[in-house]
Every structure is written in C-alpha cells, then in structure tokens.
A = this chain, B = another copy of it.
Amino acid sequence: MNTSQPTAAVLLIGDEILSGRTKDKNLGFLADYLTALGIDLKEARVVSDAEEEIAAAVNALRSRYTYVFTTGGIGPTHDDITADAVAKAFGVAIDHDPKAVDILLAYFKEIGREPNEARLRMARIPVGATLIDNPVSKAPGFQMGNVFVMAGVPKIMNAMMEDVATRLTKGVPMQSRTIEFRGGEGDVAKPLGEIQKAYPAVVIGSYPFQAADGFATNLVLRSRDEAVLEQAFAAVKAMADELVTAGKARGWS
C-alpha cells in the first residue's frame, strides 16, 4: 500500500438516519465516487443533530485522514447546526458570508422567494471557509481546511461533489476483479488465505451472499498494481475452478 495515497472519512449527520426514518444513500455514493478518484475511504460515522457530537467527530476525523466529507444539517431550520458545529471544531467564528448572501439573494429574487431571516441562515459560514457550489438549490456548502460540508439531500450532495472533486488530490485508482464462486467461504478459506499471503499488494476479500438458489461467495481482489492484480486473479480463479470441478465446493447447496 502506497502510504502517500489520499485517505478520507465520511460523516453523516442527522437524527433521521439513526431513527431509521431515512435510509442513507450518501455513504454508498461517496464510497463509489472516492474509490474512482483513487482516494481511500477508511472510515464513516453517523452522528445525531447535536453540536458537541458533530464537532467531536469532525475533529477526530480531520486529524486522521486527508479529507473529511460531511452530509446533512446545513438547511435553514433549528435542527440544522452543522455549520456551527464545524466552526466550533475549528475554533473559529461563524457569520453571514457576503458571497453566500449574494448567491442566495439573487436566487430568491429569481424564483420570487422571500429572503427571510431563516433562509439567510444558510449563508452563515465559518470564518475562513470557501464556498462549495450548489447548482441544484443554490445554498452553498463550504470547505473548511480539509473538511467538505455538504447537503444531506442526495441530489444536491451529488451535484456538490462535482465542485469538490476539482479540489481533491487524486490517488492511483484501486482496480478490482471479482469471481463469483459457487461455493461457501469455508470451502475456499484455506487456499484463499495462502494466495493472500503470496500477494500482499492485493487485498483479497470474500463476501458470502444469497443468490436465488442458495448461498454463494464473491471473491474480490483489489490492488493499484494491475499486473500483480491479474496474477493474483488468475491464481484465485484456477483455485476456485479446481474446487468446483473436484466437487469440493459444497457450501453451495
């Protein structure tokens, strides 16, 4: 593993995920997005709408990873406290950002919406942060140091990542190969462990799943070194095929 690869953490903010009311889709999107950029997502957390919880998580994660991506809690209502929590985490003040106010006022005028105090709360940005473009509903996200603060609504967050991506140092993307093994993990565990030892530059995982006709196992190989990946893939494929041919893949029933 190249230690200069950029790393990342995702912080999902909101009682609605922890209560089960909303089923999160942002983690999966960000995981795919960052993997494609060669940025290793190492950890994710979900915390409630509580300022101290958000601030503590931001500080724990930003000191540990190259980037932190947060979603949720940047709207105009009383439970939207992410911007305040991030300001607190960085020990800076928070105020209406003139550029954010301009963006919102222009947008509200365009669509005939009243620029009330609550709506202008969305222009409150920690001092020193830069804005993140929101092409969907205009209210910006912001970047504070290595922390990117985005909306919780998937469509808006996904759009914000277009702007965010231009600011990120990309790594060498992880390549992956998958073998769908018609057997159980227990059939394949020993030889797979041996192949893992022989190819330390390849991360080999085995993921049982339920197919229509029983349990099966995906054998997934991931590496940044394509040549080594292909060698390890060939070794796993040959091993898995041999087990099936010899009738030793018994987990599949």
Q: Which residues of A contact B (CB under 8 A)?
A: 14-24, 27-28, 31-35, 40-49, 53, 75-80, 111-114, 116-119, 121-122, 137, 152-153, 155, 174, 176, 184-186, 188-190, 192-193, 196, 203-210, 215, 220, 222, 248, 250-251, 253
Given contacts A42-B48, A155-B210, A205-B16, contact A250 B77 (CB under 8 A): no
Nearest B residue (CB) for A12? B44
Contact between A77 and B112 (Cβ–Cβ < 8 Å)?
no
Residues of B contacting A203 with CB < 8 Å? 15
Q: Which residue of B lies closest to A113 (CB)?
A: B250
Query: Do the beta carbons of A31 and B20 come within 8 Å of each other?
Result: yes
Name A28's contact: one of B15, B20, B176, B250 (CB within 8 Å).
B20
Question: What chain B residues lie within 8 Å of A32 (beta carbons)?
Answer: 20
Beta-carbon contact of B27 and A24 below 8 Å: yes
This protein's copies in its complex: 2
- Least Cβ distance of A31 to chain B in Å? 3
| Contact across chains for A192 and B253 when beta carbons are under 8 A apart | no
Q: Is the interface of A mostly helix, strand, loop or mixed?
A: mixed
Q: Are B250 and A114 in contact (CB under 8 A)?
A: yes
Neighbouring B residues of A31 by C-beta, 8 Å:
17-20
Which residues of B have CB within 8 Å of A23?
28
Selected from B18, B76, B185, the residue in CB contact (under 8 A) with A41 is B18
Docked CA distance A42–B50 (Å): 10
Q: Given contacts A17-B44, A79-B205, list 5 more A-B pairs with CB under 8 A.
A: A23-B28, A24-B28, A45-B46, A113-B250, A118-B190
- In order of increasing CB-CB distance, the 9 nearest A-B pairs are A118-B189, A20-B31, A119-B186, A20-B32, A78-B193, A44-B46, A23-B28, A76-B189, A77-B206
Chain B residues with CB below 8 A from A27, complex form? 17, 24, 46
